[in-house]
Structure 1
Amino acid sequence: MSRIIGDITVSLDGFVDGAGDGVEALHAWALVSDDPVDAAVLASVAGAGAVVMGRGTFDVVDGPHGWQDGLGYGAREDARPPFVVVTSSLPEEVRLAATHDFSFVTSGPAAAVAAAREAAGDADVYVMGGGTTVGSCLAAGLLDVLQLHVAPEALGSGTPLFTGSRHRLVQRDVRVSRAAVHLTYDVSEVPAPG
């Protein structure tokens, strides 16, 4: 059975994006690093059977400065699995419609994960973001695995990944490159108090 893997880059202080400069530095490990550890992480992510993303992330990747030939899901891997977008409203047009398989789910993250799982078959489903999407899937108990790519940046403010819910994570893997620390955790249920 496929696993649902939350996969997101965070700053040292736990933000997935910031107000102003610094966001590009978060993703340097994926966009400009030549470290073989980063390349191996990107190659494994590119093997996704399907990908869930939020509408904000979709608007960036489908925007005029978003994904292009040779730079897409998995950065230079440019993988093209089915993409399921969690949204409250459908886009008027999709720039990448001819080259990418996007579907849109308006009934929430659980429905998007279910649609992605069906599209992925036995392969893993990745929830790539943004932070609200990964965080809400984590809070709803939809994730089996959480992969964090910790960039050596402290943003000071922005969208936090963890908000208002407690999680017990079991560390499974740590990979260190010059540009990031890649952490993999199994997600466990936190027992109710007393």
Structure 2
Amino acid sequence: MTRIIADISVSLDGFVTGPGPGPESGLGAGGDALHTWAFSDDPDDRRLLREATARSGAVVLGRRLFDLVDGPGGWNDETGYGAGEVGKPAFVVVTSTPPAAVRLADLDWTFVTTGLADAIAAARTRAEAASAARGTDLDVVLMGGGATVGSAVAAGLVSTLSLHLAPVLLGSGTPLFPPHTPQRPLTQRSVLRTSTSTHLVYDVG
């Protein structure tokens, strides 16, 4: 079964970037601490990253995050989705206007201009096709940014919420959930504490 998983790193005070995120500093001041777990040598962190990315059939991201990863200082041969733990899933970008050109032309990009729900539907189609081709269940992963993930959870478009809780207080930045987010019942499925983070997985009602 294809799950729709919102997967994001967050500070203890609820921010997914530090203050002042922008083209030169996508995670803002101090925001790199949120992703320490993804590059650590802790065996549990490595296993979690490997298992999660291996199940990625398609990945959804917002336009601001796309501009960062496709920009001059973005992903390259050494860094990218899953920090080298996975191949190349399809990527679906929610945007009002597709870019004129793509730097990372070796990746499979789809640009959806009709909203987040349609982008997730397109990603589900790609993930299900990849599942059939590989003979195993693959997921749709919403990797960010914060507005994309928070809006998807608020709209009831997500079945699983995977949070990587970093031991840091950022004070300000991009909040994970917008103000007045509707109530959503959560069922806790797993908790994994590593040397760098606390990894939490919830089913979303």
TM range (shorter): over 0.9
Which of 161, 172, 177 is equivalent to 2:189?
A: 172
**Structure 1 stretches of at least 4 aligned residues deviating more than 6 Å after TM superposition:** none
Q: Where does residue 159 of structure 1 map in the other structure?
A: 174
Q: Say whether residues 1:104 and 2:111 are aligned partners.
A: yes
Structure 2 residues not aligned, in runs of 5+:
20-27, 132-137
**C-alpha offsets along residues 80-123 of structure 1, whole Å, 9 cap, x if unaligned?**
100000111111211001x2101100111100000000000142
Shift of 1:44: 1.9
When structure 1 is superposed on structure 2, of 145-154 and 161-170 the one drifting more is 161-170
Report the residue type matching 2:12 in the other structure: L
Matches within 5 A, 1:97-136: 97=105, 99-121=106-128, 122=131, 123-136=138-151
Shift of 1:78: 4.9
Whether the aligned pair in 1 keeps the contact of 2:50 and 2:86 (CA below 8 Å) is: no
Q: Where does residue 52 of structure 1 map in the other structure?
A: 60
Aligned length: 186
Alignment RMSD: 1.1
Structure 1 residues not aligned, in runs of 5+:
189-194
The structure in which a higher percent of residues are helix is: 2
Distance in 2 of aligned mates of 1:176 and 1:79 = 27
**C-alpha offsets along residues 138-187 of structure 1, whole Å, 9 cap, x if unaligned?**
01100000000011111111111122222211100111111111100000
Q: Where does residue 24 of structure 2 map in the other structure?
A: none
Matches within 5 A, 1:33-72: 33-47=40-54, 48-72=56-80
TM-score (norm 1): 0.92
Whether the aligned pair in 1 keeps the contact of 2:58 and 2:141 (CA below 8 Å) is: yes
